[in-house]
Structure 1
Amino acid sequence: MTDIKTLADRIEDLLPQTQCTKCGYPACRPYAEAVANGSADYNQCPPGGAEGIARLAALLGKPVIPLNSANGIERPRPLAVIDEQVCIGCTLCMQACPVDAIVGAPKQMHTVIAELCTGCDLCVPPCPVDCIALPPVTGTATGWDAWSPSQAAAARERHDRREARLAREREAAEARAAARRASSGVGTADHAAPDAHAPAPAQPGAAPAPAAEDAEAKKRAIIQAALERARKKKEELAAQGQGPLNTEHVSASVQAQIDAAEARRRRLGLVEDNPGDAPATPPPTTSR
């Protein structure tokens, strides 16, 4: 196992770290591990191109072979560009970006930070209004000629930071959910630990405290109004023949992100059981 781990590290060092999933794995690291243990071939990385295959072949002591066309083609590196006039601020592109190269907020125009974009194109499929273009920005240069080791190292660092942040957010959400269950569990009310965020019980004779739900209800109303505006905008675009064009053939990993966003919104009561009338928009967050 130690040998495989060491080999996986060396293989990962030779990958471009675009985190594009074209290799068939959710990120560069899982692909490196699969190559190391023999469950994946070393010609499945289109961003690395022929040069990347040659580097891996030299490391593995194997012959240079062509890029597997099932994983894509070697091409000039693209850059994601968001059309400000069409973007509806749904945040799905932000959730799909593996290196946090998109900034914005719900119902506000999003922007791609050009120097951080890896050209993975994962932001395109979930966009419900097809407002993201991917023009090539490296001329005729492809593979490692269009991507430097320093860019790869920076992309890996951003991806790892994002994964760590998402893990912290999941753990925090699970802890909050567990606390809510413990404080409202049937038969445990007398023994449950007090919720740190719950209002103090009213004292006899004291004036009723403001309902703790008021602020949350107001927040939900604001978000629901934003969703309604987004729905109307979507209908207007559809009437003009500019409706959603990128909602089919979404990869499993991106669809999982969209489904997770919908599940969070449903738990918060921000959507009805059938959320298809409005583009998916999670609770207000920003990405950096």
Structure 2
Amino acid sequence: MSPLAARLHAALPQTQCTRCGYPDCAGYAEAMARGEADIHQCPPGGAEGVARLARLTGRPERPIDPSHGTEGPRTVAVIDEAWCIGCTLCIEACPTDAILGTNKRMHTVIEPWCTGCELCVPVCPVDCIALENVTGERTGWAAWSQEQADTALTRYTARGVRRVRAAEEHAARLEAKARAKLADLPAMTHGAEGAELQRKRSVIEAALARARARREQTG
């Protein structure tokens, strides 16, 4: 990340909501630094957020682009326990690991960790997640704090590390399983039996190659 991108990133609210059109706040900051994105694409930061970015970039302040949303109060996701089916889709969608629960068990939102990003709402198959206004008429940075932004970034970063580690462990398990199957194959023979063994060996070797590729990609 360039020095300018780092400063822009530090000025963002770190809700990781993707409303700017980028996968996370870091991606938006880098796009602004490259001149590929404007400074008025972050609804959670609101007018104050635009002013901060304007000071860093020297660009003129502009109202939030309505195509990216509107400035509003901070919201927190609330799960209707009576309707939750424990599908875990909201857990996967949450950028700060603010939702706790397991498969086929009721989930709950840890309010201090929720950034109000809204990413959990569209993935819920039973529409049991609502957004509650928790800051009244305060909007943008008036409804958020640097401490909350720092916490959100810390949790988002930790989630990324956890997901990479989980992917590496999954790839390692697949590779170990494929190696075990390859070792269990009998010695090569001729005829139809030999052809079938060769087919199985080729399938397992291809699985090993895919597992190695996944491990290298996550690395």
> What range is the shorter-chain TM-score in?
0.7 to 0.9
User: Is 1:95 matched with 2:96?
Assistant: no
Relative to structure 1, the CA distance from residue 179 to residue 67 in structure 2 (aligned partners, 3 Å threshold; closer, same or farther) is same
Q: What displacement does 1:180 show? A: 2.2
Q: 1:109 aligns with which of 103, 106, 111?
A: 106
> Residue type matched to 1:43 in 2?
H
Q: What displacement does 1:189 show? A: 6.7
Relative to structure 1, the CA distance from residue 59 to residue 138 in structure 2 (aligned partners, 3 Å threshold; closer, same or farther) is same
Deviations 1:3-28 (A, max 9, x none): x6111110010000000010111111
Aligned twin of 2:144: 147
Deviations 1:60-103 (A, max 9, x none): 11111111111111011111000011111111111110000010
User: Is 1:179 matched with 2:176?
Assistant: yes
Q: What displacement does 1:187 show? A: 10
Aligned twin of 1:37: 34
Aligned twin of 2:7: 10
Runs of 4+ in 1 over 6 A off after TM superposition: 186-190
Describe the SS at the equivalent of 1:133: strand
User: Is 1:85 matched with 2:82?
Assistant: yes
> TM-score normalised to the size of structure 1?
0.63
Alpha-carbon contact 1:183-1:189 (below 8 Å) kept: no
| Structure 1: distance between partners of 2:185 and 2:46 | 59
Please give the residue correspondences for 1:74-223 in structure 2 after superposition, counting only pairs within 5 Å: 74-185=71-182
> Residue type matched to 1:49 in 2?
G
Q: What displacement does 1:108 show? A: 1.3
Q: What displacement does 1:183 show? A: 2.8
| Structure 1: distance between partners of 2:168 and 2:40 | 36
> Residue type matched to 1:175 in 2?
A
| Structure 1: distance between partners of 2:41 and 2:182 | 50
| Structure 1 residues without counterparts, runs of 5 or longer | 191-288
User: Is 1:67 matched with 2:77?
Assistant: no
> TM-score normalised to the size of structure 2?
0.82
> Residue type matched to 2:133 in 1?
P
| Structure 1: distance between partners of 2:40 and 2:168 | 36
| Structure 2 residues without counterparts, runs of 5 or longer | 188-219
User: Is 1:47 matched with 2:80?
Assistant: no
Describe the SS at the equivalent of 1:125: helix
Describe the SS at the equivalent of 1:134: strand
| Structure 2: distance between partners of 1:19 and 1:91 | 19
Higher helix share: 2
| Structure 2: distance between partners of 1:22 and 1:179 | 41
Residues 157-166 or 61-70, more deviating: 61-70
Relative to structure 1, the CA distance from residue 24 to residue 189 in structure 2 (aligned partners, 3 Å threshold; closer, same or farther) is farther
Describe the SS at the equivalent of 2:6: helix
Could you say what the CA RMSD is over the residues aligned between the two structures, in angstroms? 1.6
